[in-house]
Every structure is written in C-alpha cells, then in structure tokens.
Amino acid sequence: MIEKSPNVVWHRATVSRKDREERNGHKALVLWFTGLSASGKSTLAHAVEDRLHKMGCHTFVLDGDNVRHGLCSDLGFSLEDREENLRRIGEVSKLMLETGVMVLTAFISPMRRDRERVRSLFPHGDFLEIYCDASIEVCESRDPKGLYKRARAGEIPDFTGISSPYEAPVNPELRCDTGNDSVDNNVDKVIGMLRQRGAIPA
C-alpha cells in the first residue's frame, strides 16, 4: 500500500455536489452491478443508463473491459490485481459522484470483501449493489466472447466461476434474475428501486 504524501490536501470545490444534484434534478448514486462473466451486467447497466438518459438524468457507465483499456491496463486477473482494479474504480466513482451524476459500474467484482471495501468509501445509501444473478450454466451457454470455452481448456487462468471463486452478495440492495428475466423487466426493477429511494422523481 502506497502511503499518501503529507503534502496532499483535499481541495473543496466552490460548486458542491448538492448544487449539481439540484441542477440535475436527481441524486448522485453509484449503481454497482456485480455477477459472473456473461451474467448480463453490462447489458443491464447500459439499458438502465439508456432509460435514465431518456428521463433526463445525468449518467455514466464504467464498464470492466473499457476500464482495462486504459486506467487499469497494467493489471492482470489475479485476486490481488482484481482487488486493485476495484480500488481504482471505487476511487474514480467517488470522484464522479461529486459531479452530481449517477455512476453505473459493470464489474464481476468476485470477492465480497472487495465490494464492501468500495462500499465503505461512500456515505450510507450512495452505493447500491445490484446482483445480476445468472447460473454458471446459463452464463456458459451464452459465452459471447468464448471465454468459458477457453477457460475450460486451461487457456485462461484465474477465470471467475471456473478456476477462481465468485462470492455472491448476501444482502444486495437489489437482485435481478438476469438468467431468466427479460432485460426490460430488470430495468423496471432498477428504476423502481431508484424511485422508491427518492433518487429520481416518481
């Protein structure tokens, strides 16, 4: 762990998060989509963003593959590297929250302790864990990138669900049955949760 320099001081912005939320007309939140590879995390996150965008909300999706093209391109897929990957995403999400936007993240994030560590960065209620629940059989039958097939062949080490563990959330804010339910129905569930919590207008 790299120690922070004693010369680094947090600079408080003149325009606050609350100011930005009032202008945007909705609360800033982190929607953390977690689940196995091919469970539908990215599909659901982008579908939710599309619905929110049409409602006039300010949003941005941080997608696992996209982040690894730049910010986390130096990391592999060991449990240690996954932990660092999520630490960085958590810190980026925390910064983006101050802009007043809804941040939607789509990462496998396999270990509970890592997800809880990210959750601890935010005030209570700002981090909403959404479990994209699809069985390994369903995910493997989809396999859009052919990753499960390669993992089964031993070509991909540390592959979640095959040679590396996935710890499902115990008490997520929302569980979406992405293995059987339609994308639209799951989007409705997410939007309903946001309305119930007063994050967006009813």
Q: Which residues are catalytically annotated? A: 109
Torsion angles phi and psi, residue 9, rounded to 5: -125, 135
Say how far apart CA 9 and CA 35 lie, in whole Å: 36
Element (H, E) at 62: strand 59-63
Nearest to 162 by CA among 105, 77, 73: 77
Q: Where are the alpha helices (DSSP H) in the chain?
A: 17-24, 41-54, 64-67, 79-97, 112-119, 136-142, 147-152, 183-196
Q: Which two three-digit tokens encode residue 83?
A: 């932990």
Say how far apart CA 24 and CA 114 lie, in whole Å: 31
Say how far apart CA 164 and CA 107 lie, in whole Å: 15
Inter-residue contact 102 to 28 (CB < 8 Å): yes
